[in-house]
Amino acid sequence: MTLEIRTARLTILIDPRKKAVFERLCAEDDVTPSQVVRRLIRAYIEGKTGRPWRPEDEPLPASERTVASSPRAARRQRSLRTGSVAKPGGGAQRPRGGRAAKSPRERPEASSAR
């Protein structure tokens, strides 16, 4: 069985009260909300198609065909698509233009406020 590639994102808007109850119930079952949503989506697909879900049976969308071989490479690919810059400690940071912010001593308003 092929491992699923989890690089696609699904963003939904729901009532905040419903979200709070959902997260509480997930915590009680010691599962993450993402795990529950993935199970629900899988069950929905299997119910509609009438067959078990097998990722290898479906072609990858064009946007996901160059999936990297490791989580680090996948992060790098995402950062290239979004224009963010990877930081050495992990995560990503948007590139900044221009020089660094002035210190309080260099700011005119700081010196005139004295």
pLDDT tens track for 29-45: 999 999 999 999 999 99
Instruction: Give the residue from 56, 67, 79, 53 showing the smallest Cα distance to 7.
Output: 67
pLDDT for 88 equals 57
Q: What pTM does this model have?
A: 0.54
Cα-Cα end-to-end distance for the chain: 70
pLDDT tens track for 21-80: 999 999 999 999 999 999 999 999 999 999 999 988 888 888 777 655 567 777 776 777
Domain boundaries, the chain: 16-52
